[in-house]
Amino acid sequence: MDRDQLVGELERVIPKEAIVSDPDLLEKYGHDETPDLYREPLLVVRPKTTGEISSIMAFANREGIPVVPRGGGTGLAGGAVPPEGSIVISTERMDRIMEIDPVNMVAVVQAGVITGKLAEAVEKEGLFYPPDPASLDACTIGGNIATGAGGANTLRFGTTKDYLLGLTTVLADGRVLRLGGKNVKDATGYKLIPLFCGSEGTLGIITEAILRLLPLPRKRIDLLLPFPDLHLAVGCAVSILRADIVPTALEMMEERAISYVETYLKKKFPFPKAPVLLLIRVDGDDEKALMEKAERISDLAEGAIDCFVAQSPSEQRRVWEARRAISDALKSKGKLYHEDIVVPRGRIPDFVPSIHELGQNYNLEVILYGHLGDGNIHINLIEPDPERLSLFRCDLYRRAKELGGRISGEHGIGLIKRDYLNYCLDPEVIETMRVIKEALDPKGILNPGKVLFFDQDKTNGRF
């Protein structure tokens, strides 16, 4: 079916204004933030309701046309890159915060709501939505659910899955599943919500969510600890975690990353220069208790050059501005390749130094930052040699497996890590995933070629 025929068919089931077929407008839907991956979709649709997505999926399933759901396009694993001849379903017009319920402490939202906008909206009600990916000003709730996104707050508050009380998802054949609700507890039947969280659009298209909220912490303190080397910084992080102190965030940034940020933003940041920086946030309602916790952290920071404390909102904004701008700053220097390996926290001292050793083995410049407190390290390479990158990646994944880790902590598997899934999952586990995929999407039309290679991808996943 060519583009004009497809437009004609879809106009029978959804409003004409929801269809994008102009080739000049299709370009931005052919990629996410993953370098070197681009495919122009046959068509893009921008529905406003679950019902419209249901109609699109029923048609696509009948015709055997592959469909790729898309949120903010901020993914780093190629999860939103469409295969040849596909329809992209963009949730950009499904951007309503349908309800903020302060009594039950939940928010009901459409999938296209920007994560940062939700956080701002609930904060006005004295509430808090903890998941905070670095791209929170551009990524969507639906995309966060699809990838199981986390962020800096994961150490204390968990990831997206921990706030997902209810979910509406459209299956491959157009059937609609409404799962969960506003209940805090639910022991009714199989728990299907976790199945769709992290499925990367391969099992269903998320259209709405009911999200758990928390009371907004009244006080926050950020500490910035500069260290002369990576070993001391990692040792400090381990000491903090062993001391029964649970910070909200425990982030690591290498000096080179901050230098790139200062150049990118054209500003200097008011904290000491050092090879490695730890950024630690503590929050709560008792200012005295927070100060005591901050002092304990400072006491545990053996080998730190200094301790910079940010208490005012303006100071805190500047510190976190630097952290959140790292990825964009690195991308401004050339094609940026990301890895987001996660290892058990107890293996952090073994894993982090070995990353640079691997980089040296392959003569690659490696820049590290990430969520040191939960063992999720972001490994970045700018314009690497493709062959050496491939070898580095294989050794990196093997090292993660040796330490009991996983090849992705929050970015997902998508397309670029699909063929490495067996580095950390047993064949029986992968086969069980295939069985689930076949049961929910027997024709293989939902985001084909992502997460795992499904038999139907031979026709639907032409990459």
H and E: helices and strands count for the chain: 16, 18
Domains of the chain in sequence order: 3-90 (3.30.43.10), 97-215 (3.30.465.10), 219-325 (3.30.70.2190), 334-414 (3.30.70.2740), 418-460 (no CATH)
Percentage, residues of the chain above pLDDT 90: 90
pLDDT at 456: 56
Mean pLDDT of 100-122: 99
Q: Is 335 within 8 Å of 35 (Cβ atoms)?
A: yes
pTM: 0.94
Sign of the four-CA dihedral 123, 124, 125, 126: positive
State residue 463's pLDDT score. Answer: 45
Give the Å distances, CA to CA, from 60 to 6, 68, 249, 340.
10, 11, 43, 34
Instruction: Provide the pLDDT confidence category of residue 311 given band limits of 50, 70 and 90.
Output: confident
User: Of 81, 112, 343, 340, nearest to 205 (Cα)?
Assistant: 112
Q: Is the pLDDT of residue 216 over 90?
A: yes
Q: Mean pLDDT, to the nearest integer, of 1-7?
A: 91
Mean pLDDT across the stretch 50-59? Answer: 98
Alpha carbon of residue 437 to chain centroid: 22
Is residue 168 scored above 80 in pLDDT? yes
CB 132 within 8 A of CB 151: yes
In 3D space, the residue among 129, 41, 125 whose CA is nearest the CA of residue 88 turns out to be 41
Please tell me the predicted confidence (pLDDT) of residue 333.
92
Number of neighbouring beta carbons within 10 Å of residue 135: 24
- The pLDDT value given to residue 271: 72
Q: 61, 13 in Cβ contact below 8 A?
A: no
Q: Judge contact between 206 and 109, C-beta under 8 A.
A: no
The tens digit of pLDDT for each residue in 282-295 reads: 999 998 999 999 99
DSSP-derived secondary structure for 173-205: TS-EEEEE-S-S---SS---HHHHTTSTTSS-E
Residue 335 has pLDDT above 70, yes or no: yes
Give 245's DSSP letter.
-
Q: What is residue 24's three-state secondary structure? A: helix
250 beta partners: 280
pLDDT of 224-236, one tens digit each? Answer: 999 999 899 999 9
- pLDDT-derived band at 196, boundaries 50, 70, 90: very high
Average pLDDT over all residues of the chain:
94
Place of tokens 């649709």: 45
The type of residue at 345 is R
CA distances from 323 to 135, 253, 278, 371 (A): 11, 7, 10, 11
Q: What is the mean pLDDT of residues 413-420?
A: 96
Angle at 348 between CA 344 and CA 350, to 5 degrees: 115
Q: Which residues contact 2 (CB under 8 A, 6 or more apart)?
A: none
- 377 within 8 A of 347, measured Cβ to Cβ: no
Per-residue pLDDT, 360 = 96
Residues pairing with 282 in the sheet: 221
Tell me what the mean pLDDT of segment 269-283 comes to.
Answer: 88
56 phi and psi angles, rounded to 5 deg: -60, -45
What is the DSSP code (8-state) at residue 446?
B
CA-closest candidate to residue 320, choices 416, 222, 405, 439? 222
Which ranges of 311-385 would DSSP assign to H, the alpha helix? 313-324, 326-331, 348-361
Tell me: the pLDDT tens digits for 401-416?
999 999 999 999 999 9
pLDDT at 460: 52
- Contact predicate 30/81, CB 8 Å: yes
Amino acid 1: pLDDT? 82
Q: Which whole number is the average pLDDT over 371-375?
A: 94
